[in-house]
Amino acid sequence: TPCAFLSAAAMAKPVPPFVYRISTADEWGEFQRTGATLGGDLDRSTGCVHLSDLSQVKMTLKNFFLGRSDLYLLQIDTAKLADGIIYESSDDKNFFPHFYGPDRSFAPLQIDAVVKSDKIEFVNNDFTCNLLDGNGPSC
């Protein structure tokens, strides 16, 4: 698989009801206009859309998006992704959901899988938004 260089191991685990995509404002805007996305440069170069479980979002934000103020958190309904999610890891400890598409051919993520979106703020040295903080639905 194209994302295989990321995975020292792949893990079969129950897929949760939702996974999350951290998107830039530009990516989210294009996603809304076109109805689908192949993600950003990293996703396109590795052949899968990188996602996170809710418990992984803040770690991902701190590791890859520190200093960014143009971010949105998208809640993705995994039931709409069929069997296109594979959990993979580069360190054998942290397994992240990657979306390949139902046929494992790097299919675009479709807009109808997005349940909610929320603007991510950086406040008091921490990333925050309603989806992360459990303050109810956002849009």
Per residue in 55-100, pLDDT (tens digit) is 999 999 999 999 899 999 999 999 999 889 999 987 778 899 999 9
**pLDDT attached to residue 89:** 86
Structure tokens at 40: 């950003």
- The Cα 65–Cα 60 span in angstroms is 7
Determine, yes or no, domain membership for 36.
Answer: yes
Ranges of H-type helices in 53-129: 57-64
Mean pLDDT of the chain: 86
Q: Is residue 138 part of a domain?
A: no
Dist CA 33 CA 45 (whole Å): 23
Q: By three-state DSSP, how is residue 118 classified?
A: strand
Give the range of the structural domain holding residue 101, as residue numbers without chain letter.
2-133
Closest CA to 85 of 103, 74, 105, 101: 101
Residue 77: inside a domain: yes
| pLDDT for res 11 | 54
Largest CA distance in the chain: 43
**Is residue 94 in some structural domain?**
yes
Q: Is residue 45 part of a domain?
A: yes
Is position 24 within any domain?
A: yes
Who wins on pLDDT, 47 or 1?
47
CATH number of the domain to which 110 belongs: 3.20.170.20
First-to-last alpha carbon distance for the chain, in angstroms, is 34
Banded pLDDT at 28 (limits 50, 70, 90): very high
Whether residue 71 lies inside any domain: the answer is: yes
For the chain, the domain total comes to 1
Q: According to the model, what pLDDT value does residue 53 have?
A: 95
Q: In sequence order, which residues have a C-beta less than 8 Å from that of residue 100 and are 6 or more positions away?
A: 1, 2, 3, 47, 48, 84, 85, 86, 106, 107
Beta pairing partners, 18: 77
| Residue corresponding to tokens 């993979």 | 88
Confidence class for position 6, pLDDT limits 50, 70, 90: very low
Residue 1 scores a pLDDT above 50: no
Specify if 139 maps to a domain: no
